[in-house]
Amino acid sequence: MQKSDKMDVKIKLSTLWIVVMFNMAYADILSLNIPGIEEELAAFAGDTSIPLLMLIGAIFIQIPVGMIFMSRMLDYKANRRANIAAGAIVIVFVVGGGSLLPHYILLATIEVLCVLLIMWTAWKWPEPNR
């Protein structure tokens, strides 16, 4: 493969964030269609109101949504830092707020693998020639 055939790192990172975001969204969409899930959600929430829990989830989903754009717009140094930091936060959110439902385990595994690839790509990204 010639150097000119490689995908631009910004496009690669942005595309991986799209994959993460879709998997996060579908994990939630599929989960909400399972009978009895509302009771499990209420038990998980404890004293926290369901609308507040949904707001927290909506805030966390903004990380991959925002990183789709930010991965293309930030300069090299800020891009590397943002992708590594955002990746760490997303992994904690996915694993910590997860479920043991089979579809969720599959989608969360894909999410975590993609985020690890994002973090690795950002970490190994060579500084562009100035």
Decide: 29 and 17 in contact? Cβ < 8 Å: no
The mean pLDDT of 61-73, rounded to a whole number, is 96
Quickly state the pLDDT bin for 98 (edges 50, 70, 90): confident
The mean pLDDT of 81-95, rounded to a whole number, is 96
Please give the model's pTM, rounded to 2 decimal places. 0.86
What separation in angstroms does the CA of 16 have from each of 11, 30, 59, 64, 78? 9, 21, 19, 9, 18
